[in-house]
Amino acid sequence: MLEMTINEKACRGCRLCQDVCPTECFAYEAATKKVTVAVVENCIGCLSCAYICPSGAIAHRNHHVVKNFYRNIEFSMRMEKFL
């Protein structure tokens, strides 16, 4: 079962994770000005939130690791000629 945690102390409430998440896993808490995990069941483990978080506050466990070729610049440049 995939687990996701946000280091509350590290979170600066920028909401980038919320913007980037394709499955709306996050919720913004106006009172604390921080983001929390709202629906972890929706998470597809794309790790976009963890990549984009400027504080490195988001961690995943037990997620299925895949080759994210669309984020790998070198690989994308090699593949460009076939597209």
Tell me: does residue 53 bind ligand SF4 (CB under 6 A): yes
Tell me: does residue 45 bind ligand SF4 (CB under 6 A): yes
Smallest separation, CB 61 to ligand SF4 (Å): 12
Residue 54 or 79: which CB sits closer to ligand SF4? 54
Interface of this chain with ligand SF4, residues 15 to 34, rule: CB under 6 A: 15-17, 20-23, 25
Q: Cβ(21)–Cβ(49) under 8 Å?
A: yes
- Label residue 56 left, alpha or beta by phi (over 0 means left) and psi (-120 to 50 means alpha): left
| Alpha helix ranges (H) inside the chain | 16-20, 48-52, 73-79
